Structure 1
Amino acid sequence: MIDTNAILLSDTYKQCHRRIYPKGLAKLVSYWTPRRSMFTDPDDEMIFFGLQGFIKEYLIGYFNKNFFERPAAEVEESYHRYMDIQIGAGNYDLESVMELHELGFLPIKLSALPEGTKVPMGIPCIQLTNTDSRFAWVTQWVECLLQASLWKPCCHATVGWKYHKLAEKYYRETVDDSVSPFDAMADFGMRGMSCMDEAIHASAAWLLSFNKTSTIPAIPYIEQMYRTDCLAAGIGRGAVSTEHSCQGANFAVDGDEITFIKRMLTELYPNTSFSMVSDTYDYWNLVNNLLPQCKKEIMEHNGKMLIRPDSGDIVKISVATVQKLWEIFGGTTNEKGYKVLDPHIGIIYGDGCQLTTVETIWEQLKELGFAANCITFGVGAFCFAATIEENGKMIALTRDTYGIAMKATLGVVEENGAEQRFFIYKNPKTDTSHMKKSHRGYCNVVESGGKLRCLDCLYHEPKETLLQPVFCDGKLLKDEDFVTIRNRIYGGE
């Protein structure tokens, strides 16, 4: 992103509200909450993830570089220019912006649920409030920046969790317990994301549930934002792999496909596992005819060769391929009585790997007596943008997927030495679904009977709450590592 004056990272109306709030407003309390799931499951929960990265990246890093450390004249000039374009001179309040610049940090406090928490609908994840009575407006000003940065990592973390639960089921039923479901799938989505930042954040969220990704910059992001040694943790592994240009170029030079396959096995990567896209010309010719001709090289290869179909009917091709590889190369029977392909050969599919499709493949393989780890999957960008449920309903992943909103719930006006506390809320009569009805006052998030509950309508901040301080006055108060967050989801697996 270009180095825009940080105070301009909002939509237009946030720049007007400083004037519009009641005179003497000294405190504003707001909550960031998933209100309702679009998924069919009535007990659907959202994985909360991305706040720590957002705080480091924006509330500290970006604001310091592009607001507090910039000369006052430069901040004033850019603010004037772009707000004049937006709403016209005289319709915004520059004085309070420059007062904030002079202060030198964001005078707000964020308290939040621990990242990795499975959040039911209607439970606030973050509480925001100002710490300086001059800057009550900053509380809600943060909304646009927070929303644009956080809803998608939460959705992507939840997508990864849904895939992991499916992998857990079939690995528990058909795979030896020594084989981890964290290795069942990889993120293949980088090139299909809307921008590089989205690709990085999506892959980081995915890596809460799996070990593998093809999105390299997700690794330094996790190491810097979640202070984790990814090498030591085994997080962020990729793989040697070919693409169609590799297959096509070598075919053009060699005049056949088999020469390149054997060169990969014996010269280029004799001691390394790799995947090879296999449908550039004739997939079934490669499987039925070329692989048997390469059997000696494959069995002597110090690694695994994964063939990768990339088109056609994913279910039929995946299941038939596993059967054919068993016929050619054989394998073993595991402790649970399921067939496992010889460790020198396998299949990875990275096209159209929707949850329902993956489940169908694993179920059919199970019925045929094959273990789930006979095939691995590369999950792509479509699956990070939409989910297809068993009933065929497609759910796009947007801010509305979980109805995420940030709403002010309590205000304090101070005037002539007196303090007035009041609830702020919305309850539209036209909202027949009642989704937009907001909390009132302070909220106390507690655990009761193994479930998170929210108690609102409080005039004062509760002392015992699961929303714990993570940021205050420009400083990060809680710096968790990535593995701790992952273990919070999966109980230390």
Structure 2
Amino acid sequence: MYTSNFSNLLLNVDSYKASHWLQYPPNTEYVSYYIEARGGNFDVLVFGLQAFIKEYLLKPITQHDIDDAEVVLTAHGLPFNRQGWQRLLEKHQGRLPIKIEAVPEGTVLPVGNVICQIVNTDPEFFWLGGYLETALLRAIWYPSTVASVSYFCKQKIKAALEKSSDSLAGIGFKLHDFGARGASSLETVALGGLAHLVNFMGTDSVSALVAAKRWYNVTTMPAFSIPAAEHSTMTSWGKEREVEAFRNMIEQFAGENKIYAVVSDSYDLWNALENIWGTELKELVELKGGTLVVRPDSGDPVEVVCRTLAILAEKFGTTLNSKGYKMLPDCIRIIQGDGINVNSLGRILDAIMASGFSVENVAFGMGGGLLQQVNRDTMSWAMKANAVCIAGEWHDVYKDPITSHAKRSKRGILALVKQADHWQTIEHKALENQQNQLRTVFLNGQLLIDEHFDDIRGRVGL
């Protein structure tokens, strides 16, 4: 009977991959594959490969891995390449004879470009690159898609701040990760949450903080959060004591330079804004210091945010910034964490400004829309073979389905070049004196480039 070992790389695979070693042409020596995002509505922010390499590729294959995989896959109905894996263990001590090239993590580039290329380095193991597709593609598409969604949102927020605010200083905290409870697994939160932190510095996904240290050499705190209420802590007081629940939040968490958030729609948001925050507790909010962040949590976000701004402006007053937009006093702000996604965010930002308010008054929280409501088709990610060496001669490999030209793949060993702001994927043989933006990051079991998270952030501009 086989054991249950999720760390076995031989079992981190689609079933049919186990039969592919028998399907290549005779005398096949090397097979090259590449990964790209073929489409989507926003640019690619590349992230996550180093996490995968450190977690899965640096540990050599063991005899136990081979034995266990043989039991599982043969019982499952697949032929098992026992001789191949055994030879890898004996010849390379279980280290993978492959080369992985990739664009530096944190790079932003248009879809339709190569971002990763993998090829075996020992002709005995021509089948190895393809075997790794399942794990490698997943390792790249998910965190890169989350990072790309987060980056897209940041550009929208940045544009709105440039139009309506005197400062971009707080942009790093304008989109907070609320996605931990809605994600499919702890590793999803770790990878997706960390991908978001390439662009922002606000999160409630603690697993992302652990991931930053585990995979990207972080030694200081990479992101922050604040004390915040949830409905259970507010409704425990009862509807008749909602004022006391809110007062307790002020007493516990207010103070100079402190920030605290209070969900305020447990019963009647408009009453909470007008009569509790705006009347009964207004003076206490002002005297205690710090910043109260009011959090609506239901309703149409465009309507709710704009009406909340209007009520708080009436109660707390406003000033005009140099751009002519209204600013609430420093003691009061809003965070909208319900219904935020790539489609709704722009509408809310436009509505805020159309109402005469600076976007600086509002922060956003994104949960499922950030970490969970993405899939491989969001940006049409694919890993495809692009070249094969048979009996010492290289041949281009590609697919070009007559039924879907969108799935046409690239051919030949690839390189990635950049001139000014223009990115282009070309065949490596056409590189000449241009600099290839793909760097070898993994070679024969060794990580060659060990990125620090700060450097990745620096490429994005955080």
TM-score, length-normalised on structure 1?
Answer: 0.87
Report the CA distance between 1:461 and its aligned residue: 11
Per-residue deviation at 1:224? 2.5
Matches within 5 A, 1:247-326: 247-251=234-238, 255-267=240-252, 269-270=254-255, 272-291=258-277, 292-326=279-313
The letter of the residue matching 1:190 is A
Q: How does 1:1-40 map onto structure 2 within 5 Å? A: 2-37=5-40, 39=41
CA contact (8 A) 1:440 1:457 kept: no
Deviation for aligned residue 1:112: 0.9
How many residues are treated as equivalent by the alignment?
455
Q: Deviations over 1:249-302 (max 9, x none)?
A: 1227xx511112222212455453211111112211111111210112100123
* The one of 53, 56, 59 aligned to 1:55: 53
Q: Distance in 1 between matches of 2:415 and 2:66?
A: 40
How is 1:107-146 mapped onto 2 (pairs within 5 angstroms)?
A: 107-146=97-136
2:353 maps to 1:366: yes
What SS is found at the alignment partner of 2:387?
Answer: strand
Deviation for aligned residue 1:403: 2.1
1:152-187 alpha-carbon deviations (Å, 9 max, x no partner) = 111111111111011111111111225332221201
SS at match of 1:343: coil
> 1:398 corresponds to which letter in structure 2?
N
Aligned to 2:407: 436
Q: Does 1:425 align with 2:425?
A: no
What is the deviation of 1:79? 2.0
Mapped to 2, the partners of 1:198 and 1:130 lie a distance apart of 29
Match for residue 394 of structure 1? none
Question: 1:459 offset after TM fit, Å?
Answer: 10
1:294–1:86 Cα change, 3 Å? same
Pick the aligned partner of 1:485 from 453, 456, 459: 456
Contact 1:339 1:369 in 2 (8 A): yes
2:229 is matched with which residue?
Answer: 242
Matches within 5 A, 1:152-301: 152-177=142-167, 179-231=169-221, 235-251=222-238, 255-267=240-252, 269-270=254-255, 272-291=258-277, 292-301=279-288
**8 Å Cα contact 2:234-2:246 kept in structure 1:** no
Question: Which digits, 9 at most, give the CA deviation of each residue in 1:97-154, with x for residues without a partner?
Answer: 1222232211111111111222323311111111122111111111111112221111
2:303 is aligned with what amino acid? K
- 1:456 and 2:427 equivalent? yes
SS of the counterpart of 1:446?
strand
Contact 1:106–1:474 (CA under 8 A) maintained in structure 2: yes
Partner of 2:65: 75
Q: Aligned in 2, Cα 1:175/1:457: closer, same or farther, shift over 3 Å?
A: closer
RMSD of aligned alpha carbons: 2.3
1:192–1:382 contact (8 Å) kept in structure 2: no
In percent, how many aligned pairs have the same letter? 29
CA distance in 2 between partners of 1:75 and 1:461 (Å): 43
Tell me, yes or no, if the aligned pair for 2:36 and 2:114 is still in contact at 8 Å: yes
The SS at the match of 2:406 is coil
Q: What SS class does the counterpart of residue 407 from structure 2 fall into?
A: coil
Change (3 A) 1:4 1:459: same
How many angstroms apart in 2 are the aligned matches of 1:259 and 1:457? 68
Q: How far is 1:361 from its partner?
A: 2.7
3-state secondary structure, aligned to 2:266:
coil
* Partner secondary structure for residue 435 of structure 1: helix
* Contact preservation (8 Å) 1:441, 1:459: no
Match of 2:87 among 93, 99, 103: 99
Query: Which residue number in structure 2 is paired with residue 391 of structure 1?
Result: none
Counterpart of 1:445 (choices 403, 416, 419) is: 416
What CA distance in whole angstroms lies between the structure 1 residues aligned with 2:271 and 2:112?
Answer: 54
Indicate conservation of the 8 Å contact 1:442/1:461, yes or no: no
Residues of 2 paired with 1:273 and 1:22: CA distance?
64
Q: Which residue of 2 aligns with 1:405?
A: 382
Give the corresponding residue for 2:327: 340
TM-score by length of 2: 0.92
- Partners in 2 of 1:116 and 1:79 — Cα distance? 35
1:257/1:201 Cα in 2 relative to 1: closer, same or farther (>3 Å)?
same
SS in structure 1 opposite 2:236?
A: helix
| Alignment partner, residue 87 of structure 1 | 77
Structure 2 letter corresponding to 1:409: N
Distance 1:220 1:434, change over 3 A: same
Structure 2 residues without counterparts, runs of 5 or longer: none
